[in-house]
Amino acid sequence: MQAIKCLLDLTNDCLENLEIQHPAIRFDSLALIADGASRQNKEDRRVKIRLKLDHEAQENGSFELHQTIQKLVPGSLLVSDIWIDPSGIAVLAPFPAKAAAVLQEKKLIKDIFGKILVECQGARTSFVIGSINKKIRCLDGMYDQMDGLLQKELAHFRDTVPIRVTGWTRRSQNDEPYGYFRICVPDLKAGKFPLRLHIFGEAISIQRIRKCGQIVVCSKCHDFQVARTCARSIKCQNRGMNAHDSSCDRSPKCLNCLGHHCSTDLLCPARSRYMNGVFVYPTGVQLKHIRAAGRREFLKVKKYEADNPSPSPSFKGAAETGITLSQVING
């Protein structure tokens, strides 16, 4: 058991000792197992540099920012990737320990970028708590809950679960006397958060916000991938060819399923589906069948247009092709 636990630590000679004690186990296989275990918390590998919307660093490219931050950190292997998002700059480290090393240089990063916020962007779970009085009467008058009273009331939970109070929810930002507030806790300790809570002597409800993922669509090629890692040229969403300035009046063709509809059609059969709380993506075999069926439907439409020069009936989208993911899965 002790030998298995050592797989999580790549800084010692555990893998080498296991290879000597157990020759049947290959060294590279053990390294892959330990490497996979060390990458479990992918969210904890990101360091976020939060900038203002009009900050001059937003105009720079990722390569210039990578060179600038690379000079600030002590090692050349601490930064794997850097990209710009709407809230600032995201710095990706190979491991959570190296992300902590990057975070230690936040003073130098602030000296370069000015008055900013540098924090570790770990995976967090949000809770909505309420309803409570927005203002409470104290001995010397009325006070707002967010002026420090609410943080003091939740102080006895901070020893077990790190809590960050973000403020009132959007619906509670009105003149009503009662409202709901939102708190965030790390994902790893979300299970330790209490199911019942008493604040200022009153029992209140706790609602955990379930994360609902979104389908990632590239803005360049309209494929289901991240745009910053896409090496393709900008494609026309109607025809699937290289983008052009003039309006596209040709027959539409999807880049994903090769069917007779635009690449941005929400009913495309190659698009993932939200089933039972998770996204179900078509496998490689299913995608192959979907594209073959879409190609046949597109050829039928082209043949109909060639035989009938008059205006052909309008095809509204992927629903007209008759191809669905359920039909492909069920054979």
Q: Alpha-carbon distance 46 to 286, whole Å?
A: 34
Give the residue from 120, 137, 168 where a domain finishes.
120
51 versus 19: which is more confidently predicted?
51
pLDDT tier at 26, thresholds 50, 70, 90: very low
Q: Residue 288 sits in which domain range? A: 254-329
Examine residue 318 and state whether it is found in any structural domain, yes or no: yes
Examine residue 229 and state whether it is found in any structural domain, yes or no: no
Examine residue 220 and state whether it is found in any structural domain, yes or no: no
29 and 104 co-located in one domain: no
44 versus 308: which is more confidently predicted?
308
Examine residue 213 and state whether it is found in any structural domain, yes or no: no
Examine residue 27 and state whether it is found in any structural domain, yes or no: yes
278 and 301 co-located in one domain: yes
Q: What CA–CA distances, in Å, run from 270 to 280, 289, 290, 294, 320?
A: 11, 10, 7, 10, 15
12 versus 156: which is more confidently predicted?
156
Q: Alpha-carbon distance 169 to 129, whole Å?
A: 10
23 versus 268: which is more confidently predicted?
268
pLDDT, residue 20, reads 63
Q: Alpha-carbon distance 270 to 323, whole Å?
A: 9
| Total domains, the chain | 4
Give the residue from 147, 179, 208 where a domain finishes.
208
Examine residue 247 and state whether it is found in any structural domain, yes or no: no
Examine residue 24 and state whether it is found in any structural domain, yes or no: yes
129 and 204 co-located in one domain: yes
The residue assigned the tokens 């008058």 is 141
32 and 66 co-located in one domain: no
pLDDT, residue 316, reads 45
pLDDT tier at 34, thresholds 50, 70, 90: very low
Q: Is the dihedral of CA 70, 71, 74, 76 positive or negative?
A: positive
User: Tens of pLDDT along 58-92?
Assistant: 778 878 888 888 888 887 788 888 888 877 888 88
User: Tens of pLDDT along 35-44?
Assistant: 444 444 556 6
pLDDT, residue 292, reads 92
Give the residue from 67, 94, 120 where a domain finishes.
120
State mean pLDDT over 163-177. 83
b/e map of 209-225 (b: 16 or more CB within 10 Å)?
eeeeeeeebbeebbbbe
Listing DSSP states for 21-63 in one string gives H-TTS-HHHHHHHHHHHHTS-SGGGEEEEE--TT-GGGGS-HH
